[in-house]
A = this chain, B = another copy of it.
Amino acid sequence: MGITKRHIHPLQANKLADYAKVLSNPARVAILNYVGDCDGCLCKDISEKIRLSQPTTSQHLQVIKKSGLLKSKFEGKSQYYRINVDKLNELKNLFQEFFEATEAKCN
């Protein structure tokens, strides 16, 4: 035991929790804020901006990218990160629906 029992919960609950987990670390939120600001960001720049080491930043970037919220493009040895706006909208709607559905039940 000690591991989350995903299989006993509804799919929707697992999905929301998975996305929430991406946002559950302030470094990742800060990264998303910064990547939104610049237009194509490098890992090195991000790591300096958020003041975490390059490897730590790289790992966070991979976690966010795996969720689909970030996309990236290599140009030579440089990898430029951008927000995936489609995915961002998907999340916005998912959270919105959760909050509204939960609120609607309370009447």
Known interface pairs A36-B105, A92-B100, A96-B96; A29-B8 also in contact (CB < 8 Å): no
Chain B residues near A8 (CB, 8 Å)? 50-52
Question: Which residues on A are within 8 Å of B, measured CB to CB?
Answer: 4-6, 8-10, 12-14, 16-17, 20-30, 32-33, 36-37, 50-52, 82-83, 85, 88-89, 91-92, 95-96, 98-103, 105-106
Chain B residues near A17 (CB, 8 Å)? 23-26, 28-29
- Whether B51 contacts A25 by the Cβ 8 Å rule is no
Give the oligomeric copy count. Answer: 2
Give chain A's interface secondary structure class: helix
- Whether B88 contacts A99 by the Cβ 8 Å rule is yes
